[in-house]
């Protein structure tokens, strides 16, 4: 299933692995001491009810002020509300443009009935020439390498621009562009994605050459809910001896698709949620303009988070359902982008997939911010660097079937385990998991970001 625009952004399709390399360079180039961590925010509720006189933004050397202002849930002339302040802070943190965001209110009249708010941000560096080091399908035996660049704050308007040249398991070129906010209050967004690559077919191991392009256009109806329309074109070319695998029985299929998706995201933090919920629903009509390619895909991903201090409870229901005959290059899998920890290296193929997951997490070392003194890196890499450690336990079950009638809870494969979650800048989360299957066979897993 090709990801929609929100998934591209949230999973950092410009490859979070390279940011791990950058973060490690930060550590190795820093001296062994650091300043004491900054103090946490004070009691903002003391200012509740006071009229906001001014909102002053500081620290944004590259980011346009409007990028920050449009995320704020309050404005001048309104009463101060600490709940809206905290939600605004989370929204700015979810942009992944800043190491740290602070709101500093202070009284601005002798009577104490008005307040000014300073929004202080510590910007991250935004332009990265980077070495490509990608783990394809979450399989360390499938390494792709090369070089490219990523501009995560193009023109200072939170636009994402990425290009790379790749070799190894998936050789080719890749280009993507995302503008998350167009047309002012209409709040439209647009994205472009183009990629050429080669891979061996997952089911029959013959080589496929892909030229894949997507145009996304969407609208935010609220700050947390949007609808998106995506038009895709995937050109698949194979050797003559493998033409019988193709839907058209020729060396080349051209698969056009149209996807309508809606996403509601009420999580407090995208990278490591502690409360809220997430729902992504997609309907795709594939095989446009080609009678021999005619099928539908239905995608459903629901996640819920509860904060029962000090614990975070998380749950997930995920499914892909299809209708019609799928081509061999677009089947449904568990074992590539979606996996069951405990069965991490096993691949299950078919037409329908279901995954259920539950987890509990709690902090070991609460997030703190440090400033390092570096001999090699500029201050933007070493100022207000966050660090925290959480521990968690999880259980996941999944099944892939050829038909819906074959689905049965008792036939689902299950894995469970524990993990350490390091909360870091740039990579957001570095996760070390110890997972087991039903027979207590264990495996160690190292990944970026949370599966849910």
Domain range annotation of the chain? 5-20+125-448, 38-123
Q: Can you give the pTM of this predicted structure?
A: 0.83
* SS (HEC) of 32-53: EEECCCCCCCCCHHHHCCCEEE
- Structure tokens that stand for 78 in this block: 């309104």
Find, among 38, 59, 62, 73, the residue nearest to 121 by Cα. 59
Q: Which fold has domain 5-20+125-448?
A: Porin (2.40.160)
Taking a C-beta distance cutoff of 8 angstroms, is the pair 47, 115 a contact?
yes
pLDDT of residue 202: 86
Strand runs labelled E in 155-206: 159-168, 172-182, 188-200
Report helix, strand or coil for 1: coil
Q: Which strand (E) or helix (H) includes residue 7?
A: helix 5-10
CA dihedral for 398, 399, 405, 406, sign (positive or negative): negative
> What is the number of other CB atoms lying within 10 angstroms of the CB of residue 168?
14
| Alpha-carbon dihedral 433, 436, 440, 444, rounded to 10 degrees | -40
Residue 372 has what pLDDT? 79
Instruction: State residue 139's pLDDT score.
Output: 76
Measured in degrees and rounded to the nearest 5, phi and psi for residue 4 equal -85, 180
Residue 418 pLDDT = 98
Structurally, at CATH architecture level, domain 38-123 sits in Roll (3.10)
Cα–Cα distance measured from residue 177 to residue 163, given in angstroms and rounded to the nearest whole number: 9
How far is residue 56's CA from residue 113's CA, in Å, rounded to a whole number? 18
Is residue 154 within 8 A of residue 182, CB to CB? The reply is: no
Which 8-state DSSP code applies to residue 376?
Answer: S
* Residue 56 neighbours by CB under 8 Å, 6+ apart: 116, 117, 118, 119
As given in the structure block, the two tokens for residue 383 are 């100022």
Q: Residue 22: enclosing H or E segment and its boundaries?
A: helix 16-29
3-state secondary structure of 242: helix
- pLDDT reported for residue 24: 52
Q: What is the pLDDT of residue 275?
A: 96
Residue pair 140/443 in contact (Cβ under 8 Å)? The answer is: no
What pLDDT was estimated at residue 42?
Answer: 66
Per-residue pLDDT of the chain (452 residues; tens, 9 = 90+): 444 444 444 444 344 444 555 555 555 544 444 444 444 556 788 899 999 999 999 999 999 999 999 999 999 999 999 999 999 999 999 999 999 999 999 888 777 789 999 999 999 989 988 888 877 777 778 888 999 999 999 999 999 999 999 998 889 999 999 999 999 999 999 999 999 999 999 889 899 999 999 999 999 999 899 999 999 999 999 999 999 999 999 999 999 999 999 999 999 999 999 999 999 999 999 999 999 999 999 999 999 999 999 999 999 999 999 999 999 999 999 988 899 999 998 999 999 999 999 999 999 999 999 887 777 777 777 888 899 999 999 999 999 999 888 888 889 999 999 999 999 988 899 999 999 999 999 999 999 999 99
């Amino acid at each position: 299933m090709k990801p929609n625009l929100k998934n591209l952004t949230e999973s950092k399709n410009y490859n979070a692995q390279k940011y791990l390399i950058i973060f490690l360079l930060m550590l190795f180039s820093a001296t062994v001491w650091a300043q004491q961590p900054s103090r946490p925010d004070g009691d903002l509720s003391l200012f509740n009810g006071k009229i906001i006189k001014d909102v002053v933004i500081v620290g944004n050397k590259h980011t346009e002020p409007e990028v920050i202002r449009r995320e704020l849930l309050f404005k001048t002339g309104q009463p101060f509300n600490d709940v809206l302040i905290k939600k605004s802070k989370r929204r700015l943190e979810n942009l992944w443009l800043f190491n740290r965001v602070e709101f500093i209110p202070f009284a601005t009249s002798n009577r104490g009935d008005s307040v000014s708010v300073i929004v202080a941000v510590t910007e991250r560096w935004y332009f990265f020439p980077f070495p490509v080091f990608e783990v394809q399908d979450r399989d360390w035996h499938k390494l792709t390498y090369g070089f490219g660049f990523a501009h995560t704050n193009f023109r200072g308007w939170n636009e994402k621009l990425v290009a790379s040249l790749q070799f190894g398991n998936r050789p080719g070129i890749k280009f993507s562009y995302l503008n998350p906010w167009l047309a002012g209050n209409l709040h439209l967004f647009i994205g472009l994605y183009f990629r050429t690559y080669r891979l061996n077919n997952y089911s029959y191991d013959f080589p496929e050459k892909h030229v894949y392009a997507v145009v996304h256009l969407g609208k935010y109806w609220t700050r947390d809910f949007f609808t998106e329309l995506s038009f895709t074109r995937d050109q698949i070319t194979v050797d003559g001896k493998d033409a019988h695998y193709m839907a058209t029985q020729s060396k080349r299929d051209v698969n056009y698709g149209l996807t309508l998706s809606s996403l509601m995201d009420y999580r407090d933090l995208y990278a490591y949620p502690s409360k809220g919920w997430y729902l992504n629903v997609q309907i795709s009509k594939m095989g446009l303009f080609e009678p021999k390619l005619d099928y539908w895909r239905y995608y459903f991903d629901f996640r819920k988070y509860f904060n029962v201090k000090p614990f975070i409870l998380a749950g997930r229901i995920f499914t892909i359902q299809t209708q019609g005959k799928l081509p061999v290059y677009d089947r449904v899998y568990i074992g590539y982008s979606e996996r069951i920890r405990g069965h991490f290296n096993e691949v299950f193929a078919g037409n329908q997939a279901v995954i259920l997951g539950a987890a509990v997490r709690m902090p070991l070392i609460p997030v703190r911010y440090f400033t390092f003194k570096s001999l090699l890196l500029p201050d933007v890499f070493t100022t207000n660097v966050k660090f925290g450690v959480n521990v968690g336990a999880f259980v996941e079950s999944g099944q892939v079937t050829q038909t819906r009638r074959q689905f049965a809870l008792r036939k689902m494969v299950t894995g469970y385990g524990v993990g350490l979650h390091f909360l870091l800048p740039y990579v957001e989360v570095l996760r070390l998991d110890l997972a087991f299957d039903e027979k207590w066979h264990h495996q160690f897993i190292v990944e970026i970001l949370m599966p849910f």
